Amino acid sequence: MTTVHAELSDRGPSPEKERAQRDELVTSHLGLAHQLARRFSNRGESHEDLVQVASLALVKAAERFDPDREIMFSTFAAAGIIGELKRHFRDRGWAVRAPRRLQELLLEIGSSADRLGQELGRTPKVSELAKAVGASEDDVLEALEAGQSYRTSSLDARDREGQSMAESLGSEDGGFGHVENHSVLSFAMEQLSPRDHSIVHMRFVEGLTQSEIAARLGVSQMQISRLLAESLRRLRVHFDMQDESAHH
C-alpha cells in the first residue's frame, strides 16, 4: 500500500487533507492516464484529446475511490479510464464509421468553401457549395455533420503559407485571460487547452464568426467548426463529471 493509500485509509482526515491526498493520487497516476490514452491512439482521435478524456476519468476515479476496499488505486483507476475512453469512442461512433465517400466529399467541401468564400467575399451557403462540388444539398449537410468528428488535418498540419495553427495562436492563452469577466464561461474555458481556449474566446467573447476566426488563424472554417463543437462538448463533459461526482 502506498503512503497515499495508507493516509486515505486513516479515519476522519480533514477535508483539506483529503483533497490534498486525492490530488496527490491523481498527480502520481497521470502516467497511467497517458499510457492508456496511447493504447487508444490511431483510431481517428488526437492523442491530446484522448489524454484529456483519460485525465478527467482519473480525477473522477480519485473522487470515487474508497481506500477501505481491497483494491489498488491503479487497478480501480485503469478500469474507469478505459471505460471513459471506450464511451468517448462509442458516443462518436456515428461519425467515426461514416463512409469513405463522405470523407472525400468533406475534403472537397473544405477546399471549395475556402475558394468560394474568397470569390464571393462572404461565407458560402449550402446550395452554393453543393453546386460547386457537384453534390446534393443533403449530401453536403451530411458531410458537414460527419466533419464535426473527422480530423481532416491536425493542429500542427501546415497551411498554405507554411504556418501551423499552433503558431498562429501563439503561446499559452494569447493574453486573452485577463480581459474576461468572471462569468461561468470564463471559468469553464479554463478547462480547455490554450488552442481551444483562444478559439472559444474569439467566438463567444470577441463575437467573431467561425469564418473570421478561420481567416485570422489561416485555417479552414470547417476546422474551426469542428474544434468549437469539440470544445463545447468537452465543457459539457466537465460539468457532467462534476455533477456525477457530487452525487457520490
Partner 1 sequence: MTYREPRTSEYEVIEVSFPGSVEFVVLARFTAATIGARAGFDLDEIDDLRLAVDELSVSFGPLDGETSLRFEFFRDGDTVSVRCTREPAPGAPGESPPERDVINWQQARELSEQLLEELVTVHGREIANGRSVAWLKKQREAGKA
Q: Which of 81, 113, 135, 192 binds partner 1 (CB under 8 A)?
A: 113
CB environment 183-194: b (16+ within 10 A), e (fewer): eeebebbebbbb
Nearer to partner 1, 151 or 233 (CB): 233
Q: Of 1-60, which residues contact partner 1 (CB under 8 A)?
A: none
Q: Of 206-225, which residues contact partner 1 (CB under 8 A)?
A: 207, 209-211, 221, 225
229 near partner 1 (CB under 8 A)? yes
Q: Which of 33, 129, 132, 169 binds partner 1 (CB under 8 A)?
A: 129
179 near partner 1 (CB under 8 A)? no
Asked if 102 contacts 146 with a C-beta cutoff of 8 angstroms, the reply is yes
- Per the rule left: phi > 0, alpha: psi between -120 and 50, beta: everything else, 108 is alpha
CB environment 154-167: b (16+ within 10 A), e (fewer): ebeeebeeeebbee
Whole-angstrom distance, CA of residue 200 vs CA of residue 177: 12
Which residues of this chain interact with partner 1, rule CB under 8 A?
90-91, 93-94, 113, 122-127, 129, 137-138, 141-142, 144-145, 148, 183-185, 187-188, 203-204, 207, 209-211, 221, 225, 228-229, 232-233, 235-236, 239-240, 242-244, 246-247
